[in-house]
Structures are given as C-alpha cells and as structure tokens.
Amino acid sequence: MASKRKEEDEDRLDLMDLAEYAKRQRWWNKVFGQNSGPIAEKYSVATQLAIGGVTGWCAGYLFKKVGKLAASAVGGGFFLLQIANHTGYIKVDWKRVEQDVNKAKKQFKINTEKPPEEAKTKMREVTTFVKKNIVLTGGFAGGFLIGLAS
C-alpha cells in the first residue's frame, strides 16, 4: 500500500526542468534577483537603479554632445553675422533689434505671471511619476549627471 501511494505522489508532482526555467528568465532577474520594487512592473531596487542609471548616462552624454554642437552653431552663426556686418555685406538695424527684444521681454513677463493650466497638469503628472518611481528617477538623475561629466 505504501509503494502504491508513493507512486501516486510522484505522478502528481510536476517535474520542472531548471534549464528551461532559467532560459525563460530575464537577464536582469538572474543578476539582481526577483521583483520587489515599487514600479508598475515590480522590478527590484537594483534593477531600477541600473536601468535608470544607464538611461540617464546615455541622455546626459547625448545632451552634452548635442549642446556643444548647438552652441557651436549659434556662436558660429553670430560670428559670421558680425563679420558680414563689419565688412558691409549686410546692414543690421540694431535699434530695431533692441526694440523687438524689449517687446519680447514685456510679453514674456506678462505670460509668466500665471502659468497655463496645461503646464500645471503636466507638472502634477511629473511629480506623481517621480514620487511613484523615486528609485528609478534617482538612478536617472545620477546617471544624467555622470553622462554630462564624461
């Protein structure tokens, strides 16, 4: 009777092939462990820091490179404009430029008195995201600063 019961117990147990189980797991689960983080996908804290740090570094590095390119383009354009003005190829009405700049400053001051409702809504969404995913955003911020420095 005992041998018959033992055979029934073995039939009920599902055999699990560990090699197949390991193949189905994500690589970050193998490295950092099972999910326990507050993010919607429930990644571990180490996974969130790693993903946030890597994406932050990439964004910071690209921001640095694109920023240098944009600054060079603006500075070079202004330099060429000054050379063209100095040599007489073009004439710039600097009084009109100053008037337009002052007009733009006044409009900017008027529009910044009260931010539009869309800006408030977006700010609330960003604040909520940061609060829910503080580890991920912290990793991103750190990675971003490292990317800017590298």
In this prediction, residue 12 has a pLDDT band, given cuts at 50, 70 and 90, of: low
Q: What is the pLDDT of residues 93-104, one digit of tens each?
A: 889 999 999 998
HSE-CB of 120 using CA atoms within 13 angstroms: 5
Least confident of 4-8, 47-51, 108-112, 132-136: 4-8
Residue with tokens 């969404």: 125
Q: Could you tell me the end-to-end alpha-carbon distance of the chain, in angstroms, rounded to an integer?
A: 72
52-75 average pLDDT score: 92
Residue 73's pLDDT is: 93
Residue 37's pLDDT is: 41
Cα 47 to Cα 146: distance, rounded to the nearest angstrom: 18
Q: Which residue has the higher pLDDT, 93 or 1?
A: 93
Q: Is the pLDDT at 121 greater than 60, yes or no?
A: yes
Q: Is the pLDDT at 57 greater than 60, yes or no?
A: yes
